[in-house]
Amino acid sequence: MSRSAARSIAEYLRQLREVLAGEDPALIQDALYDAEEYLRAEIAAHPGKSEADVLEVIASTYGAPDEVAAAYRDTEAKVKAALQPPQPRVSSPPNAMRTFFGVFVDARAYLSLFYMLLALLTGILYFVFVVLGLSLSAGLAFLIIGVPFFLAFIAISRAISLGEGRLLEAVSGERMPRRPPHPGPPAGWWPRIGAMLSDARTWTTLAYLVVMLPLGVAYFCIAVTGISLGVSCTIAPIVDALQRLGLVRADVSVYGASMPYWLTSPIGGVLLFIFGIVVLTTLMHVARGIGRMHARLAKALLAKPA
């Protein structure tokens, strides 16, 4: 369907959004940011021309909305294929056992487990940053310095959210925004403050940074509990066997308590070893699932709706 040439930046962006309808919200946000940034820079570089005249020239260089959307789709497909982790070769049909233990060859499972351990630290830092930023912004609101301080606080929070999004994209493979929402045409202090206060992304971004603290605590506890339980149950029978052979001297215990007699028997040791492996494998599946779930939550709060 042919479209009339855009006569303003707002019309160009509206047409681009319509052409990209149905695509990933993060992709749409990046495309709109790049387009608006380029268009406003070109118009600023030609102060003697009207907005419609500059857009007419841009259509032959930057491209019409249809062409820009096609270029973004093509680039997105290539980047997604390049970032896709290599799949292990399977010579026989998959079965339940291979599916369950195959998580150990999935790089994203290890990345998700690392993210769960890191989330406690980042959650604390994010929470402290938001609480201090909002408190100081409210306290300095009646001073001249309060306005630029609030703008800087929001700008830093958006930069943090972009960095968090890139980390989650590497962990889970979920497409995250690589550009912030465009601030629009240059404006004074108060119009910018009003735009930030009325933008839902401002508050959802701050909400995400705050909620990272309880989520980080939960993720860290799950990861540490699973690792310690799985490793101790897996190692304990091996250490006990080595001690019986006189190769090591150790007090084999689980969480500081001496192991019951039936666990020190050969059958009990084998069962304990199997239990430890199952716990570690289950933890890897849980970590991978948490990574995907958390990435979707972050996308819902950090990416601008399409």
Domain ranges of the chain: 1-79, 107-306
Collapsed DSSP state (helix, strand, coil) of residue 50: coil
Closest residue by Cα to residue 16 from 72, 54, 95, 98: 72
Sign of CA dihedral 293, 172, 24, 38: positive
Reported as half-sphere exposure (CB side, CA atoms, 13 A), residue 42 has a value of 20
Residue 84 has a pLDDT of: 67
pLDDT in tens, 148-180: 888 889 889 989 999 999 999 989 888 888 887
- 256, pLDDT greater than 60: no
The Cβ-side half-sphere exposure at 225, using a 13 Å CA radius, reads: 9
The dihedral region occupied by 86, where left means phi > 0, alpha psi between -120 and 50, and beta the remainder, is beta
CB atoms within 10 A of CB 154: 21
Three-state DSSP class for 257?
Answer: strand
pLDDT at 239: 74
Task: Return d(Cα 272, Cα 65) in angstroms, integer.
Answer: 62
Instruction: Choose among 200, 199, 204, 177: nearest CA to 30.
Output: 177
How would residue 254 be classed by pLDDT, with cut points 50, 70 and 90?
very low
Q: Residue-wise over 36-61: b if at least 16 C-beta within 10 A, else e?
A: beebbebbeeeeeeebeebbeebeee
CA 174 to the chain's CA centroid:
7
Please give the model's pTM, rounded to 2 decimal places: 0.78
In the predicted structure, residue 1 carries a pLDDT above the cut 60: no
Q: How far is CA 166 from CA 13, 72, 178, in A?
A: 25, 18, 7
Contact 193, 152 (CB under 8 A): no
Q: How confident is the prediction for the chain on average, in pLDDT?
A: 83
**Does residue 125 have a pLDDT over 90?**
yes
Mean pLDDT of 98-123: 91
Burial (CB count within 10 angstroms: exposed 0-12, middle 13-18, buried 19+), residue 303: buried
Q: What is the pLDDT of residue 68?
A: 87
Q: What is the pLDDT of residue 26?
A: 87
State CA 142 to chain mean position distance. 36
Predicted local confidence at residue 225, as pLDDT:
96
